[in-house]
A = this chain, B = another copy of it.
Amino acid sequence: MVYVTRREVFSSAHILANPNWGAEQNSEIYGKCANSNGHGHNYTLEVVVGGEIDINTGYLIDLKILKEIIFTEVISKVDHKHLNYDVDFMKNLIPTTENLVVAIWGQLVNKLPSGKLISVKIFETENNYAEYKGE
């Protein structure tokens, strides 16, 4: 069993706020992340796929195909978008890195032609990232 990772980058805006709370409570919990005009990030996405090497190609998965799946299911929906307003698979979710990484897993898990989804990581800044392994 071998693991292959593909890295992609996207740029999005977001606001962290619980719609059931008032501005004061959101500011207390989320600090400057609750700014109502939003802020944004260059997010780095890493998708890890695992499985056996195809003896004919030497590939676990053709990265051009993996890249296309990630583009269709994730990047085209989040890049240069606002995560609170523009993204169907984030509807009704507070766009924390934790919720985002689980939602992206959901976008990808049934779309892989070969290999199995092992892990999705999202780096929000150079100092913070979240990972989900489907457990």
The count of residues in chain A whose C-beta lies closer than 8 Å to any C-beta of chain B is 60
Given contacts A6-B127, A102-B2, A130-B3, contact A57 B39 (CB under 8 A): no
**What residue in chain B is nearest A4 (Cβ atoms)?**
B130
Closest chain-B Cβ to A32's Cβ sits at a distance in Å of: 4
Given contacts A2-B132, A80-B32, contact A38 B13 (CB under 8 A): yes
Given contacts A63-B128, A94-B57, A129-B4, contact A11 B39 (CB under 8 A): yes
Apart from A38-B38, A42-B42, A58-B95, 12 more pairs, CB < 8 Å: A2-B130, A4-B97, A4-B98, A5-B130, A7-B128, A13-B82, A18-B58, A39-B80, A41-B42, A42-B125, A58-B99, A60-B98
